[in-house]
Chain A
Amino acid sequence: AQTVTQSQPEMSVQEAETVTLSCTYDTSESDYYLFWYKQPPSRQMILVIRQEAYKQQNATENRFSVNFQKAAKSFSLKISDSQLGDAAMYFCAYLSGGSQGNLIFGKGTKLSVKP
């Protein structure tokens, strides 16, 4: 069975600085997708970024980028120029390309942004 591990329960960053959130996963599949979701306090889950396993190029969305290391089964999220609004729980999630659709989530990392 696939598993997703986020080893950092909490992280803190100074406003305007850069922070990297870690995620590792375990799978024997070759076709899969990886996601980062953001969940602000008492607000709904928001998709941040998607990475297809077959793509070598790391995904980027504005200030958010990933470091996808397929052989190492690592999928970290880098947030540049951190803003107060980035404070939230961040979840890494795995989706089997052959599955019907259930995302497998890590336990999350709580990110605090200091002004």
Chain B
Amino acid sequence: DTGVSQDPRHKITKRGQNVTFRCDPISEHNRLYWYRQTLGQGPEFLTYFQNEAQLEKSRLLSDRFSAERPKGSFSTLEIQRTEQGDSAMYLCASSLRALGSPSSYEQYFGPGTRLTVT
């Protein structure tokens, strides 16, 4: 079990450019979540997947944001036409949701991708 991994760890981009982040969850975890964390704040939920299906999206996820999990394994988060307000840490988490198991509500986080938009 290698844990949740994210790539890249840091990304600097110019306003207006598109960026894509990747998340590899803990193997066999069926749920994958994306959060955004700005300086001095707790993480805020963006979206989540169960297997390959995107089941919930936050209002924070504007039309410029899109996420995929094509084969139910890794996921990508793309931001189009980046704005300075998109600068944040983007966190990925995964969990293995199983009926009747309280521990299945635990989410395990990756190291995050820090995005800086100049």
Q: Which of A12-20, A45-53, A60-68, A72-80 contacts B (4 or more CB under 8 A)?
A: A45-53
Which residue numbers of B lie inside 8 Å of A, CB to CB?
4, 31, 33, 35, 40-45, 48, 50, 55-56, 58, 91, 93, 95, 97, 102-103, 105-112
Interface residue tally for chain A (C-beta within 8 Å): 24
Q: B55–A105 contact, CB under 8 A?
A: no
Q: Return the chain B residue nearest A102 by Cβ.
A: B45
Q: A107–B43 contact, CB under 8 A?
A: no
Given A44-B112, A50-B102, A50-B106, are A102 and B33 also a contact pair (CB < 8 Å)? yes
Most chain-A Cβ atoms within 10 A of its Cβ — which of B42, B108, B109? B42
Secondary structure class of chain A's binding surface, majority of residues? strand
CA distance A93 to B41 in the complex (A): 12
A101 interface residue per 8 A CB criterion: yes
Which A residues touch B106, using CB under 8 A? 35, 47, 50
CA distance A37 to B112 in the complex (A): 15
Which A residues touch B111, using CB under 8 A? 43-44
Q: Kindly list 5 other residue pairs between chains A and B, CB separation below 8 angstroms, not including A103-B45, A108-B42.
A: A50-B102, A101-B95, A102-B45, A102-B48, A103-B35
Which residue numbers of A lie inside 8 Å of B, CB to CB?
4, 33, 35, 37, 43-47, 50, 52, 91, 93, 95, 97, 100-108
Shortest CB distance B11–A (Å): 16
Q: Return the chain A residue nearest B112 by Cβ.
A: A44
Q: B31–A101 contact, CB under 8 A?
A: yes
Given A44-B110, A45-B91, A107-B40, are A101 and B48 also a contact pair (CB < 8 Å)? yes
CA distance A103 to B111 in the complex (A): 17
Q: A45–B109 contact, CB under 8 A?
A: yes
